[in-house]
Amino acid sequence: MEGLIRKIVIGPNPKEGMAYYVGMRAGNGLVSAIVLDDELLFKKSIKRYLVYIERDGSTMLWKSVEDMPCIIEFDLNF
């Protein structure tokens, strides 16, 4: 994994793109993690980002973003 992803903006134009970030409300849950699917990248050289939400104490896959223009913001701790 490249690092901890804090935010992803999807679309060719960042000003009009859809953004997801860790801690964002998603229905009755919160976005808990955004990860690069290393397995698909290794097997087929396709970048896919997986967005997970946490709700009622359980974590589930909410969205996947495959082979789209994205801007990734990493969580930097100095």
Q: Residues 2-48: pLDDT tens digits?
A: 458 999 999 988 889 999 999 999 988 999 999 999 999 999 999 99
- What is residue 42's three-state secondary structure? helix
Which helix (H) or strand (E) element contains residue 55? strand 48-55
User: What are the sequence ranges of the domains in the chain?
Assistant: 5-74
Which helix (H) or strand (E) element contains residue 35? strand 29-36
pLDDT band at 69 (very low <50, low <70, confident <90, very high): very high
**Which whole-number Å values give the CA distances from 47 to 12, 50, 52, in the listed order?**
15, 10, 16
Q: Say which residue the tokens 């990493």 belong to.
A: 74
The structure's pTM equals: 0.87
